[in-house]
Amino acid sequence: MRQAPAIYAVDNLVIDLFTPTISVRAVDGVSFHIHKGETVAIVGESGSGKTVMTLGPLGLLLEGVAVDLKGNAAADGRNLLALNAAELSDMRARYFGVIFQDPMSALNPMLKIGPQLAEQARRYAGLSADAAKSEAVSLLKRTGIPDPEDRYDRYPHELSGGMLQRAMIALALASKPRVLIADEPTTALDATVQAQILDLIRQIQKEDGIAVVLITHDIGAVAAIANRVIVLYAGQIVEEGSALDVLTEPIHPYTRGLLASVPDFRSETSSGAREIPGLPPNQIKLEPGCRFADRCALVQLACRVRRPHLQTISVDATHHRVACPVVISAEGIAVYD
């Protein structure tokens, strides 16, 4: 087992979302632990629940949708799900830094960039006004924004997309968080800027030794910076393990299909993008059994009746775990639990 205790531990998390007419089980019994100094990628397609599972316990879901959370999400010795709104807001600001896909959802367009950062540093990192200002400038500098003294007095609309993304990362770091959560940080960016931002996240992770949670559907980004990968399908974890194990020797039929559908830019041969037939299930009417059954080539009768649980197939620091008994028995894979 891993010795370092988790700095963020989610257990048996169930999240139901309600609109006036329907209810959706977006996250269905998910457990994951985040440790200091690691970069964990949470991979899945739209609607797989990757964002809901990560931002839900922090109270950062869309307004206007009623949410019911069950389970446990422990950070700093407290269960986030049991906190009131004010406590959660404080905890979120001190413990978690969040980077969104759209920088304008984090920055206030009416305020200059620098004072927004300084405010965060003053309030949550406990700095004096002067110290907070110089901290803000050094954060801008650290996130690779040229001429940070000048940018301090700029409004968000005066910065380009790539620069705004950096400013938002600076804002997320201003409160000295323990966990940096990046929700699709590179999806809206061009390839060259994408590479710059991933580099910056990797560099921050290394320098500060914080944990990074990367929510993404971009396998290339995962390969670039993650140590560990959690693959989510229709609200459940289907596979998790080290990035090397999961990306190079995927076991679950969904992970295999997902990776086969991503063309490798650098491979010599052209395999042609292979596809997974069909669509993810709707999570309004829940069927028992494996959620991937309808799209799976290996499906058996039992798959439709019994929900597969994660089984550990390799024991090392990262524990490769897979929720597919069919592949495990067909390929004679040893199970450790």
Partner 1 sequence: MTEMPAIAVSGLKVHFKTGSGAVRAVDGIELSIPSGAFHGIVGESGCGKTTMARAIVGLQKVTEGSVKINGRERAEWQAADRKGFARAVQFIFQDPLGSMSRRQNVYQTLEEPLLIHSLGNVAERRTKIDELLDLVALPKTALDRLPRSLSGGQRQRVSIARALALNPSILVCDEPLSALDVSVRSQIVNLFSDLQKRLGLTIVIVAHDLAIVREICSGVTVMYLGRIAEEGVTRPLFADPAHPYSQSLLSAVPSPDPRIEAKRRRILLAGDPPSPRNPPPGCRFSTRCPVAVAQCIVEEPNLREVKHGGSAACHLADTEHHTII
Binding footprint of partner 1 on the chain (CB under 8 A): 45-46, 146, 160-163, 190-196, 198-199, 217-224, 226, 243-244, 247-248, 257-259, 261-266, 270, 272-277, 279
CB of 247 to partner 1, least distance (A): 5
Phi-psi region of 169 (alpha: psi -120 to 50; beta: other; left: phi over 0): alpha
CB of 51 to partner 1, least distance (A): 14
Comparing CB distances to partner 1, the nearer of 223 and 299 is 223
Identify any residues that bridge with 24 across adjacent strands, giving them in sequence order.
17
CB of 151 to partner 1, least distance (A): 13
Comparing CB distances to partner 1, the nearer of 3 and 192 is 192
Q: Identify the residue whose tokens are 């940080």.
A: 185
Q: Give the CB-side neighbour count of residue 300, counting CA atoms within 13 A.
A: 10
Residues 6+ apart with CB under 8 A from 11: 31, 71, 72, 73, 74
Comparing CB distances to partner 1, the nearer of 63 and 275 is 275
Comparing CB distances to partner 1, the nearer of 78 and 295 is 295
Comparing CB distances to partner 1, the nearer of 84 and 269 is 269
Kindly report the three-state secondary structure assignment for every residue of 30-95: EEEEEECCCEEEEECCCCCCHHHHHHHHHCCCCCCCEEEEEEEEEECCEEHHHCCHHHHHHHHHHH
CB of 260 to partner 1, least distance (A): 8
CB of 273 to partner 1, least distance (A): 4
Comparing CB distances to partner 1, the nearer of 199 and 287 is 199
CB of 47 to partner 1, least distance (A): 8
